[in-house]
Structure 1
């Protein structure tokens, strides 16, 4: 085994001119398929550079170098199989759906199953790591693994990090122009919107901690070795070396970031490759009218949409000049029009990069939104949950998208939006302009992520990047304590001035009035 490792390292050395030998744990055992896709390019790139990778994930990624060891502790079905119907959840509203107690219970059940897997115990007992990279949004219940290994850590937010995550790095996001991920606001808010944004941002952070984080902390302290001695979740996050955000300033609203909070949005984007023959023939034969690509992502099952909604899509598609390629979970569908082709799986970026594509109909997941811009394709957004509303609204304000509400969709609304996006060239032009912007960078997002990962390794956690703001509470950070003292001092000074004026008035004006009285008597 040792000789094989040396050979692999020597082989990589001959290709790359270096062999690092650092050991990195990718901690994403409760990550959804889309979350894993964020990490895969970084994992592969680091493995190809000679780092030894151990990946804890519900998905076994393909085409990984031999330096990447993959351990599947639970499956995607264990994680996502019994999630509530997303279309019914949509009717509840985004915030209520995200904080739904059944969803939280489902995540905790999956976490218990994770801890009961003996492979996790083997890793905890027998492995040592130089760095831990963790998908922080869904894996709170395993954050105790970081202090267990006594290694530096990089937290990765698979969306533009909300304030309750970046705050631990001292990077508080002003609610005056950074909208809460669950609100349909832009970065230019009215007074009432700023008030609502501030209140909801604070309320959600409080509820997230009470409903999810505290229970997750109890869980890892119960299951991990010496768990009662491990620090709490807040302390673990505050001691992390760096945060990677899957965001990009041209797609997400620009925000102030400290040097240890790095934007790496679009790590997974890549030029299109040649499509499988049958798919390529269907799309290439679409001619000058082109084709439409329709996908609701990996979590939402299109086959579970209400029957009346399915018929709306079919009826509209049957009237279009364009062909439609539809990601659908079964191979057949009743009354399927001849211009529509179903597929259980599609190489999304290769389809988006096809020259005949005219429109991408998507749920508005962040990865899909990033890919549509990278390939310069207009978007019809049909958000279902999470940050998808905000993603689509940002795309709409960016001028390359339109949104249609999926739970009350009608043929008129859908057809009108499709024709507007296809027939009006400004949407495609805007998408192409943004495509040039996201590619106009000094280094690719993946190269950037690799550089900063190795930077943390080289500098033993890079503590010199940490801002003193990490140690400040809310009142200190916004100098509200200073403002309170200054206000008290100002009030006191005004009071003293008034008292002095009153005393002077009495002494001067009082004497004059007394003198006048005496003069009158005389």
Structure 2
């Protein structure tokens, strides 16, 4: 953006009453690449509107406004270096993987490295902020910085927030139709599914508190100045002004939301741009058969998949008419078929927006599923961990995707699923119809996020949006205390009526029996 355009934008927004010049801290020092990608568009947009942005992140974002200052205290390798093998974790199953403490230990290790960096304490001493925006699900151990800076905050969930998070805002999600993030359920559940969903949703909240939140609280109370005086995680979250959820009602099932819980899913989606020439030549020359795009995302390394699994993919690809572009982390691969091209990094949205694409084979990360819908591309989901099973199940229920299980994958299963998705036109039709739905909004998700961010700034935390439900415990929220009183009163009334009836019965029947005896004697 040219200096003239920046000046014009600042002048326009100041006339409109926007909070230009406010200082905003993006607090995501422990975020993965995909989490950072959620925040980048909002960061860039706010910077271009004249806000002074400090981005505390393990990744330096490109093409940012000059008003965005980026500070990298730890790297992604510091954070993600000791993650357990996701393919081995997949074999454990959802439940065992969820309770495996080694799967989250890297978060605590990364957090301690963060607090051991002297640059952090310079920021704590010298900086002041008007608003703090936090990637909450991976950054609980830095929540203590919010009361330290004494600024209002917006929490951001990089996927549809679990009930344990949204409940803090008084927005409890009903397990009867909102599936737990770790289950392959839709919003149409049988009785047994509702039972399992309710139990696992509660269990997940308990385990998340034990494995992540309690340890995170211990860390920031140990390392932050006067940390022992800081409130706990629950109280800090309860004082937050707003929750942004990276979800969309057309993709993640509709749910009831309070005015301070905002869906901003798809902030990062955009029209495709022109591809690099070598890549464009390979994809554009694919002809009428088109091409398949295969990527397992930024965390899972395809090169680490078991050798037998790699050969299954390769053998199936070699029999297809379509070309295949495969995100692979090394320069070459043995026995690579001529219709397959490897790339270490790919501009995903630009590939998905190419007119010759026929299918997107993905791990089912939320950003990838949002992008596939935005560009109207059918999906073959190969979930590995986290919310990916749920994302793919939701895509399948919408009719534009199929799921295959990587743990028991075979050539027959994989080839059958690919051919079904390519040859049956209903999948692309459903994907394109859904694409129209997610774009048919009064404002883009990014514009919506910018508006509500500035709304919180304008109204000093917007306390008027807070529901009184924030102050109610579980029993009060579901009026269980009222139900208990009413049930007790009903039991007492029934008991009194019963006693009265018995008394009346005895007196009435007793008088009759006395009269009968008296008559018989006469």
TM-score interval, smaller chain: over 0.9
Structure 1 residue aligned with 2:330: 330
Shift of 1:18: 3.5
CA distance in 1, matches of 2:390, 2:104: 22
CA distance in 2, matches of 1:179, 1:227: 37
CA distance in 2, matches of 1:408, 1:163: 32
Structure 1 residue aligned with 2:68: 68
For residues 224-373 of structure 1, the aligned pairs below 5 Å read: 224-373=224-373
For residues 472-487 of structure 1, the aligned pairs below 5 Å read: 472-487=472-487
For residues 58-457 of structure 1, the aligned pairs below 5 Å read: 58-457=58-457
Partner secondary structure for residue 494 of structure 2: helix
Partner secondary structure for residue 390 of structure 1: helix
Question: Does structure 1 residue 14 correspond to structure 2 residue 8?
Answer: yes
Shift of 1:98: 3.1
CA distance in 2, matches of 1:423, 1:192: 35
Shift of 1:9: 8.7
Cα distance, 1:125–1:10 mapped onto 2, change above 3 Å: farther
CA distance in 2, matches of 1:379, 1:142: 36
Shift of 1:11: 6.4
Q: Is the 8 A contact 1:9 1:50 kept in 2?
A: no
- CA deviations on 1:371-417 (whole Å, 9 max, x unpaired) are 00000000000000000000000000000000000111100000000
Q: Is the 8 A contact 2:245 2:262 kept in 1?
A: yes
Shift of 1:33: 0.3
- Structure 1 runs, 4 residues or longer, greater than 2 Å off: 8-19
Taking structure 1 as the reference length, the TM-score comes to 0.97
CA distance in 2, matches of 1:506, 1:95: 61
Taking structure 2 as the reference length, the TM-score comes to 0.97
Moved more, 196-205 or 282-291: 196-205
Partner secondary structure for residue 137 of structure 1: helix
CA distance in 1, matches of 2:5, 2:406: 52
Partner secondary structure for residue 250 of structure 1: helix
CA distance in 2, matches of 1:119, 1:379: 44
- CA deviations on 1:79-136 (whole Å, 9 max, x unpaired) are 1112100000001112322332112222111110000111111110110000000000
Structure 2 residue aligned with 1:4: none
Q: Is the 8 A contact 1:12 1:18 kept in 2?
A: no
CA distance in 2, matches of 1:371, 1:9: 32
Partner secondary structure for residue 82 of structure 1: coil
Task: Give unmatched runs, 5+ long, in structure 1.
Answer: 1-7
- CA deviations on 1:259-281 (whole Å, 9 max, x unpaired) are 00000000000000000000000
Q: Is the 8 A contact 2:9 2:49 kept in 1?
A: no
Q: Is the 8 A contact 1:170 1:469 kept in 2?
A: yes
For residues 6-45 of structure 1, the aligned pairs below 5 Å read: 12-16=6-10, 17-18=12-13, 20-45=20-45
- CA deviations on 1:445-504 (whole Å, 9 max, x unpaired) are 000000000000000000000000000000000000000000000010011001000000
* Aligned pairs, number: 515
Task: Give unmatched runs, 5+ long, in structure 2.
Answer: 15-19
CA distance in 2, matches of 1:288, 1:514: 103
Partner secondary structure for residue 96 of structure 2: helix
